[in-house]
Structure 1
Amino acid sequence: MATAGAGSVYDALPPPSAFTPGRRDLLALSGLDGRIAVWDSRGGGLRKEYVPSAHLSATCTCLAWAPSRGGQESHQKKKRKSESAVKDEQYDLLTIGTATGTILLYSIVRGELQSKLVGGHDSRVNCIRWHQDNGCLYSCSEDKHIIEWNTQTCKVKCKWKADNSSVSCMCISPDGKMLLSAGRTIKLWDLETKNVTRQFTGHSSAVTSLIFLRPPGESHSSSDTTGLYFLSGALHDRLISVWQVRTEKKATSAVLSFTLSDSPVAVDLAPSNGKDEPLKLAVVSRDGQLHLFKHVLNGNYKKPVAPTSTVQIATSGNDESSTPKPVPILSAAFYPDGESMLLYYGSTMQPVIEQVAFQTDEPHICLVRDTHKSAPVKRDTAVTKVKTPVVKSSGTNVLVPGIPGHSAALSAASRSAQSDRKRKPNDKEATIEERLGAMAVDVEPPKVQSKGRLPQTDNFSVLLAQGLESSDPHILNKVFQTKNDTLIRKTVAQIPLYSVLPLVHELTKRLQGHPSSAILMVRWMKSVLINHASYLSTLPDLVPQLGSLYQLLEARVKTMQKMSRLNGKLYLLISQVRPSGSKVLKANQDAKVVYEEESSDEEAGEDEQDNNSDDNWEEEEEEEEDDGEAETSGESSEEDMNVDKVNGDSDGDSGDESE
């Protein structure tokens, strides 16, 4: 069983959980309040509950069960123990990794902390694995190191740097000679020499699941690595990759990949019973679905393998007003028979653990459950050993309720006044101001944030997720108005994955709007593609969902060439009409040089005749009217008419000018 821890990188994942190997009798859960509960998966309710003394500062980041101790104990005992006690002894120690680097060993039988491993890691512990043979404990942390612990002496046996960044996950081979670690790359280590044998590269985010597997029918104790495989799953990656560990031929890519609906949370393999039996894999994704795979490992496969069945859980909508709601599956594990499974769903406070046998290979299976009726309520059987410290009365401070987080102590006068609860008839009741003064509470009102100030980066991501979920244009406009590239990049990086596609759709819609807003939307779209390219590339239906964005980009690219040509032509025209650097002459400027062409005598005579005709225009017009009325004939009148016809054009132009 492979589970992911909790931390800054794994905020999107549920709290860590771990089933006991083999019979799957117990389930260890880490709650959000720091409590660690051990539940009986057979329906026995809560078995143990442990509250660390520093549970608020050293929260649980990973859980792991120590190897079974049933075979190590002596069979000669005076008292016969109950069946439940025998089960607890088989898996006694629960290993707890914390955010401060400390590793705790909690005994289920005794109900108390057995030992503490301190001084190895100075940062959050991401993964813990036990060696099946020598009883050593291996841990990896954010401090880039892997530590081999001696659990008998609680000291560091060996410590080495495993990567240039944090080491997120580990896994030990079935023969106990090799160890897989995942940081920026997946490395295969020789536990004896602490040298790297091989490296695997294929994930762009933190690896959260590593598990070895062999094809059915092969012995797990064999030292031959030709038929040895391992599975890897990463955060924000919707694939489970299968790698082959080969010493002769070193492959550079995964031989097979299983497709999921979301990033993996828990991975488990069914035990193989025969050589001809296919591999059975169960993966719980972050969206609460269980994916079941049945596949025969035989060669490389280019296309990802789809799940055989997808299991979901929903509530029953009995009333007309109530609608069925999905119930997320938090973890799952195979039973030793390989046919039935244990499903863990609900919450960490009241988990529901159910055994289900899937006899069908339908692609989609929906289980209708009522979580309120099936949730266990047997919390009275919990045995928690909490010792109340004995404190002397002198020098103690009494805390009072008031402002959240306030730890001011009562003065001696106020304590003596409260001790005497019976008030005398003549005494006056103290005012609120006097009571606050006695409690030493600062009554100054808190500072109100200015309205014009924008929220910080972490609030921007929350606002953006809320605006996308509620489709509120006011919130979205407030967020999209920012022009700070750093703020845009951090906001996009912090939004949850389920908000990436709605953000892309919203940006596509806004890119089709006003050009001024489109300039800002391009910055957001660029940041989305840079930060979430690995997630978007794993979506099977990404192409139809981004159809409108593709059409928009193609239309803009087609018009770009025409617009560039038009821009070039206009630039040439403007540069020829008004060259760059030239000054325009003013209209009232006088010419410095005038050139006149010499004219012949005939042209001069015509000019004089035209001038005369222009001067006597009005007189000639009156004479023509008199001649028309008198109807006289003569050579002189004909000559005058001919002159008028010759000069008709010039007369008409001059007449127009006069008008």
Structure 2
Amino acid sequence: MAADGGSSAPQLPCVFSPKCRQYLALCAQDGRLRVWNTDSKTLHQEYVPSAHLSATCICIAWGPCRTVKEGPQRKKRKSEAVPVEEKADLLAMGTAAGTVLIYSTAKGALHCTLDGGHSGGVNCVQWHPEDCLLYSGSDDTYIAEWDLQTGKTRSKWKADRAAVTSLCVSPDGKLLLSAGQVIKMWNLDTKEVYRRFTGHSTAVTTLCFATTRPPDSNGLYFLSGAAHDRLLSVWQVREDGKDKNSVVSFTLTDEPRHIDLVTSSSKEEAVRLAVVCKDGQLHLFEHFLNGPCKKPLSPSCSVQLADTRDSPAPIPLLAAALGADSRSVLLAYGNHLQPVMERAEINTAERHVCLTRDVQTNLSLSMETAVSKVKTPIVGTKSRVLVPGLPGHQAPVKATTQGSEKRKKDSGNKEMSIAERLGEMDLSTASASKGAKAPKGTAALQTDSFAVLLVQGLESHDATILNKIFQTRKDTVIKKTVARLPLPAVLPLVEELTRRLQGHPFTAVLMVQWLKAVLMHHTSYLASLPDLVSQLGLLYHMIESRVKMFHKLSKLHGKLYLLMTQVATTDGAIAATEVDHTAKLVYEEESSDEEEASGDEGLPGNDSDNWEEDDEEEKMEEDGEDEEEGKMEEDKDEEGRTDSKANGEEDTERGNESEEE
């Protein structure tokens, strides 16, 4: 759609729920399914498929309304009986991996996954109006009929030579329209082709029955729209089989993206049609289908939205649903990540209606899109304005005669092609020292050739150039390359990095280095963009979905760390209590008789009955030992006295001798 960046943007699935139009289901660029409540204009549910980054959702279809049981309830009396209200519940989503996901809005979770039916991406899904059957068309040129009760395919048949791009089941559930290169009408009972319709040169993206009449009465009509086609063709299923050409065509301003119509049951009832085109405009038609019409029909009313700025910009419409009244229309506009829903009254008497709305999509970011005040500089007559160009295409020419002569001689040589530059480009030589000179015979690359090649790869979408450049792991090379990029190439680089970040985590590690360098060098330029929120919304939501699990892991890591520290402390306490009490060294004194005697008292061999006799014997022994010790001390005193007497006599004798001398 226009909101997603022109013709190269993929068609993002977006559809209202049947009957009451209470919900709007859409898948944005980040692969998440969001169900918005159109009454309260709030996000009702959000579901992230397990393979939302690798296998994105291609198509969405609401199932028929059914009664949903919401838990056990008490039995009501007959007087209290209320007619059961049927609500829209099941959503079928076809993915690029070939699987079909069935999501239940009543449960708020995935109901089942239909797998094994297709070998290519599922381009279209369509519900049967009565039975619990689902039809899916794929790139593998097959149509599969699924039974939701068993979750398996009931039948599968080849529908076309090319991919099946669109499906539609008739209101009575007996016919099926499929479109690849040719529109075919199948009989669902026999799975045989009922009619063929040719007229589109591109892939058919839209099929829709316009009437509920049986095909035998020449009153069955259906619509078809194709890619890059500004017409909606109306086909009549005739009884005689002469229905090779379309009978009516509706003119549009661009390729149809979303269609809503009110079918007619008779010739006197007109078909009301609301078509949202790729350019974001809404076209309303009202026509009586009663045969061929040669002139293409222009819309009775065209609606466009614009914002309330001084220089208003168009607001793209995403989807529209017709109300009970011809004037009331339910609109969804703005961005896929956060659409705005409104029930508007449109004056269909005017051919062109422009509605002004103030849309502020914040994407859960507190970002103010304030207009910066820019002062225009005063430029003189002699001054030159330097336009930000691409460095490296024109090298500075030295003002020397020798250099000019050499250039004239070498002007006949051809320039190196991009493939030759890629072959000679080596990361080891690029990061060589500045003082080292290249040999004269080899053609050395310029210092900014990485930036030149990166811009050329972004402009031409050449995967070989981008893969070679994005394999760079050196931080200095990445920073210099991003710093030399011109400003118009910054946003395409961010979009390419965002696309590559959605792949394998190993490649995402390299892309994070480039994204970090871009944010370091070019944040001021990115902040000056007015529609930055819509352009970087995918990157923000993808990073948020990747990091959402990190907080839970960090909490788990902290809890595990606490548990491990507690286990370590308890192990340390147990190790401290289990101390070996055996003595490593025993010291014994010389007089160990008493210790040995006292140590024998507590031996287990002693009888506890003779403890009094033992005490008396011990006392007798102790008294005997005391007496012996006393005698020993007296003997020692006597010996000392005799010794002292002898010594005294000797001293007196010596003294007498000396006196006599």
Q: TM-score scaled to structure 1, two decimals?
A: 0.53
CA contact (8 A) 1:141 1:168 kept: yes
CA contact (8 A) 1:175 1:221 kept: no
CA contact (8 A) 2:306 2:355 kept: yes
1:333 corresponds to 2:337: no
Match runs of 1:516-527 below 5 Å: none
Q: Match of 1:251?
A: 243
1:368 corresponds to 2:365: no
CA contact (8 A) 2:41 2:341 kept: no
Deviation at 1:336? 3.9
Q: Match of 1:240?
A: 232
CA deviations 1:348-400 (Å, max 9, x no partner) are 22100111122332111000000128x89899xxxxxxxxxxxxxxxxxxxxx
In structure 1, what is the Cα distance between the partners aligned to 2:94 and 2:23? 19
* Cα 1:273/1:144, change in 2 over 3 Å: closer
In structure 2, what is the Cα distance between the partners aligned to 1:246 and 1:273? 16
Match runs of 1:60-71 below 5 Å: 60-70=57-67
In structure 1, what is the Cα distance between the partners aligned to 2:141 and 2:183? 13
In structure 2, what is the Cα distance between the partners aligned to 1:34 and 1:145? 25
Deviation at 1:449? 5.1
In structure 1, what is the Cα distance between the partners aligned to 2:160 and 2:303? 37
Q: Could you say which structure has the larger radius of gyration?
A: 2
CA contact (8 A) 2:213 2:219 kept: no
Q: Percent identity?
A: 48
Q: Match of 2:292?
A: 300
* Cα 1:452/1:20, change in 2 over 3 Å: closer
Q: Match of 2:152?
A: 155
In structure 1, what is the Cα distance between the partners aligned to 2:70 and 2:24? 27
In structure 2, what is the Cα distance between the partners aligned to 1:451 and 1:45? 45
Q: Match of 1:323?
A: 311
Match runs of 1:135-146 below 5 Å: 135-146=132-143
In structure 2, what is the Cα distance between the partners aligned to 1:143 and 1:302? 37
CA deviations 1:487-517 (Å, max 9, x no partner) are xxxxxxxxxxxxxxxxxxxxxxxxxxxxxxx
In structure 1, what is the Cα distance between the partners aligned to 2:229 and 2:287? 21
Deviation at 1:12? 3.5
Size of the alignment, in residue pairs?
379
1:109 corresponds to 2:106: yes
Q: Match of 1:173?
A: 170
Deviation at 1:458? 7.2
In structure 1, what is the Cα distance between the partners aligned to 2:97 and 2:245? 36
Match runs of 1:182-331 below 5 Å: 182-214=179-211, 220=212, 222=214, 224=216, 226-272=218-264, 276-317=268-309, 322-331=310-319
In structure 1, what is the Cα distance between the partners aligned to 2:306 and 2:7? 26
Deviation at 1:224? 3.3
* Cα 1:295/1:35, change in 2 over 3 Å: same
Where 2:360 maps in the other structure, the secondary structure is helix
1:460 corresponds to 2:457: no
In structure 1, what is the Cα distance between the partners aligned to 2:240 and 2:265? 28
* Cα 1:202/1:275, change in 2 over 3 Å: closer
Q: Match of 2:400?
A: none
Match of 1:98 among 84, 95, 98: 95
Letter paired with 1:239: L
* Cα 1:342/1:77, change in 2 over 3 Å: same
CA deviations 1:407-430 (Å, max 9, x no partner) are xxxxxxxxxxxxxxxxxxxxxxxx
Where 2:221 maps in the other structure, the secondary structure is strand
Q: Match of 2:19?
A: 22
CA contact (8 A) 2:215 2:237 kept: no
CA contact (8 A) 1:350 1:377 kept: no
CA contact (8 A) 2:337 2:363 kept: no
Deviation at 1:450? 5.9
In structure 1, what is the Cα distance between the partners aligned to 2:451 and 2:16? 51
Letter paired with 1:207: V
Q: Match of 2:337?
A: 349
Deviation at 1:57? 0.7
In structure 2, what is the Cα distance between the partners aligned to 1:74 and 1:367? 41
In structure 2, what is the Cα distance between the partners aligned to 1:253 and 1:366? 35
**Structure 1: gaps of 5 or more residues:** 81-85, 215-219, 380-441, 463-659
In structure 2, what is the Cα distance between the partners aligned to 1:138 and 1:303? 35
Match runs of 1:568-583 below 5 Å: none
Letter paired with 2:189: E
Q: Match of 1:78?
A: 74
In structure 2, what is the Cα distance between the partners aligned to 1:457 and 1:293? 45
* Cα 1:10/1:190, change in 2 over 3 Å: farther
CA contact (8 A) 2:270 2:288 kept: yes
Q: Match of 1:358?
A: 346
CA contact (8 A) 1:243 1:254 kept: yes
In structure 2, what is the Cα distance between the partners aligned to 1:448 and 1:457? 14
Where 1:224 maps in the other structure, the secondary structure is helix
Deviation at 1:100? 0.4
CA contact (8 A) 1:168 1:208 kept: yes
* Cα 1:272/1:164, change in 2 over 3 Å: closer
Match runs of 1:420-499 below 5 Å: 459-460=459-460
- What is the root-mean-square deviation of aligned Cα atoms in Å? 3.5
In structure 1, what is the Cα distance between the partners aligned to 2:454 and 2:431? 22
Where 1:332 maps in the other structure, the secondary structure is strand
**Structure 2: gaps of 5 or more residues:** 77-82, 367-427, 433-446, 463-661
CA deviations 1:602-636 (Å, max 9, x no partner) are xxxxxxxxxxxxxxxxxxxxxxxxxxxxxxxxxxx
* Cα 1:274/1:206, change in 2 over 3 Å: closer
In structure 2, what is the Cα distance between the partners aligned to 1:90 and 1:451? 56
In structure 2, what is the Cα distance between the partners aligned to 1:458 and 1:165? 31
CA contact (8 A) 1:13 1:286 kept: no
Letter paired with 1:264: P
* Cα 1:224/1:10, change in 2 over 3 Å: farther
Letter paired with 1:343: L
In structure 1, what is the Cα distance between the partners aligned to 2:458 and 2:130? 47
Letter paired with 1:363: R
Deviation at 1:43? 2.4
CA contact (8 A) 1:63 1:94 kept: yes
Deviation at 1:113? 1.0
In structure 2, what is the Cα distance between the partners aligned to 1:73 and 1:246? 44
CA contact (8 A) 2:135 2:144 kept: yes
